[in-house]
Amino acid sequence: MAKNKNQQTTPSQRTLDFVRRDSLYNSSDEDHNQEQVDDLGKSIKESMHRIKEDLNRIDRDFNRALALITTRVEVLETKDAETQRHISALETKVCNFEKSNENLLAAVNKQERFSRKCNLRIVGYPHSEGEDCVAISKGVFCTVGLQDAEVLRAHRDGASRPNQQRPRHILVRLSTFQDKLLFYGSSEPRSSIKNILSQTISPMLIYWRSGNGVIVFPNYTRKALNCVFCQANGVIKMVNHLTSPNCQDVVV
């Protein structure tokens, strides 16, 4: 009985044992929690370190890209300025070329008018195969007494058409304007005749008729359209066929 009494514990002893066990348990939980907190803190620090490195790398890449873009923009701005200057220079050249082109066109037209001064047309001359227009022209000129007239070239004007009834004109180019003046054979002063011819760019027309009759007809004025030319005493004279049918000399 005495031994059993010694083995029995009092309530105070049981409470003390519970407190000790609870304290040991709590101490173990605290150690475990502390380890978790330490691990979490370490993980956070590592993550923050990686984030910082990533941010630094992004900042370096951004600055590098920004510097590259800035350099390229500066290069493009320089090229743009050079292009604008080049365009301005080209626009100036184009304006100069346009003015020069206008001047050249005017000069060409003027030269063309001068070149036509030596042109004559033979109208109505029959067409034949293998004809020599230069020989035909010289024959016509010999008819009117211009054996010395120099023909540079002669050809039919326009394209040949099938079943064409009227022969095409023969366009003749004389070497000098004086040869053309000789076709007048007028009693008017040479200077007056030249002034009249200088007012036109249209070529004179030479009409071929049966026999040796050759009529020289300038087609540049209404007055001339009312006139014809005939040969009298070896001289080509211009007459107004409405008022002077007998080939009397008239003032042009």
Q: Is residue 116 a contact partner of residue 141, using CB atoms and an 8 Å limit?
A: no
Q: Are residues 98 and 124 in the same domain?
A: no
Judgement on whether residues 105 and 159 belong to the same structural domain of the protein: no
The last residue of one of the domains, among 116, 133, 153, is 116
Tell me the per-residue pLDDT of 164-218, one tens digit each, with 9 for 90 and over.
Answer: 777 788 888 888 877 777 665 533 333 333 433 343 333 444 444 433 334 444 4
Distance CA 177, CA 180 (A): 5
Q: Is residue 160 part of a domain?
A: yes
For the chain, the domain total comes to 2
Q: pLDDT for 28-51, tens place per residue?
A: 666 667 777 778 888 888 889 899
Q: Which residues pair with 231 in a beta bridge?
A: 236
**Strand, helix or coil at 68?**
helix
User: Residue 168: which H helix or E strand, with range?
Assistant: none
- Beta strand 119-123 with 204-208: parallel, antiparallel or unpaired? parallel
Judgement on whether residues 19 and 70 belong to the same structural domain of the protein: yes
**Is 79 in the same domain as 134?**
no
| Same domain? 126 vs 236 | yes
Percent of the chain scored above 70 by pLDDT?
Answer: 56
Coil vs helix vs strand at 218: strand
Given a contact cutoff of 8 angstroms between Cβ atoms, the answer to whether 221 and 236 are in contact is no
Instruction: Write down which residue in 116, 141, 166 finishes a domain.
Output: 116
In-domain check, residue 248: no
Say if CB 204 and CB 183 are below 8 A apart: yes
Q: Is the pLDDT of residue 225 over 50?
A: no
User: Nearest Cα to 171, choosing from 189, 151, 147, 185?
Assistant: 151
- Are 138 and 101 found together in one domain? no
Same-domain status, 143 and 229: yes
Which one of 47, 81, 116 terminates a domain?
A: 116
- Could you tell me if residue 245 is inside a domain? no
Q: Are residues 212 and 148 in the same domain?
A: yes
Please name the residues in contact with 237: beta carbons below 8 A apart, sequence gap of 6 or more. Answer: 185, 186, 187, 229, 230, 231, 247, 249
Asked whether residue 162 is assigned to any structural domain, the reply reads yes
Q: What is the pTM of this model?
A: 0.39
Q: How far apart are CA 102 and CA 79, in angstroms?
A: 34
Do 95 and 40 lie in a common domain? yes
- For residues 140 and 180, membership in a common domain is answered with yes
Given this model, what pLDDT does residue 249 score? 36
Domain range for 206 is 118-240
